Structures are given as C-alpha cells and as structure tokens.
Amino acid sequence: MTEHGAQAVACAAELALHNGQDPVALDLTGLHGWTDYFVIASATSSTHLRGMARHLIDFCAASGIDVLRQPRIGDDEEWVLVDCGWLVVHLMSARAREFYELEKLWFQAEKLPIPAQGAPTA
C-alpha cells in the first residue's frame, strides 16, 4: 500500500474512533486525475457531522495532511466535503449516503481494509 493509501486508511480509522458509521476508503488511482482516494463515513446527526469534521481536520493537521478547503458546516448539513487534494473525505448523513450511493458510483475503485477500532493503523 502506498503512503497516501495508508493515510487514507488512517483517516477512515480515525473517523471510526469518533463513531463514524461504516467508514470506507476507496483507491481511485488510475480511474481519473483529480483525486486518488475517497474516504466516506456516515454521521448520526448534524452535531455528530460537525464533530467528525473537526476531529478529522485536527487529525489531518497532526498527520501532515493539508486540508485545502475548510468546510463551513450549517446546522442542517447532510454532506460535508473535506478536500485534501489527493484525498477527498465525504462525511454524510445516512440518508444522504443512501441517496447518493458514492460506493456504487465508484464501484471500480478498490476498497481498502479499515482496521478494527483499537488496532494499529500502520
């Protein structure tokens, strides 16, 4: 696994630690040129969504991952995009995730294994 792949998996694992539902990391390298990895996780509420975004941004800063665009999150948001260039993180309500079905849209992408909570990520 590449360094960026390992960092994408680490981001997904971090979201799982903060109760992100069904986190996945998708390897999009070779499928298009605007990003290499997606991480997708569901939140249980808009408050949870804001908290996950805050934890993710802090985790990225501590891990040396540049966040290119700080999201502004309103009280009724159902989808937050955290753009790190080579990595795009989608934090979504369960309803939005079910409706947009990003995993099905990017079905050709390889799903990277996310370690169980408490397991080492490297």
95 within a domain of the structure (yes/no): yes
Residue 103 near residue 52 (C-beta atoms within 8 A): no
Number of domains in the chain: 1
75 within a domain of the structure (yes/no): yes
pLDDT tens column, 50-90:
999 999 999 999 999 999 987 888 888 899 999 999 999 99
118 within a domain of the structure (yes/no): no
- Output the six-digit token pair for 102: 């990003």
pLDDT for the residue 118? 53
Q: pTM of the full predicted structure?
A: 0.90
Residue-range definition of the domain harbouring residue 31: 3-112
Coil vs helix vs strand at 42: strand
pLDDT grade for 121, boundaries at 50, 70 and 90? very low
Number of H helices, E strands in the chain: 4, 5
Higher pLDDT, 105 or 119: 105
Average pLDDT over residues 2-24: 95
DSSP string, 63-118: HTPPPSBPPP--TT-SEEEEE-SSEEEEEEEHHHHHHH-HHHHTTTSEEEPPPPTT
98 within a domain of the structure (yes/no): yes
30 within a domain of the structure (yes/no): yes
pLDDT for the residue 102? 94
Q: Which of 18-22, 32-36, 58-62, 118-122 has the lowest mean pLDDT?
A: 118-122
pLDDT grade for 14, boundaries at 50, 70 and 90? very high
121 within a domain of the structure (yes/no): no
pLDDT for the residue 76? 84
119 within a domain of the structure (yes/no): no
Query: Considering the chain, what is the average pLDDT of its residues?
Result: 91
Here the CATH number for the domain that contains residue 18 is 3.30.460.10
120 within a domain of the structure (yes/no): no
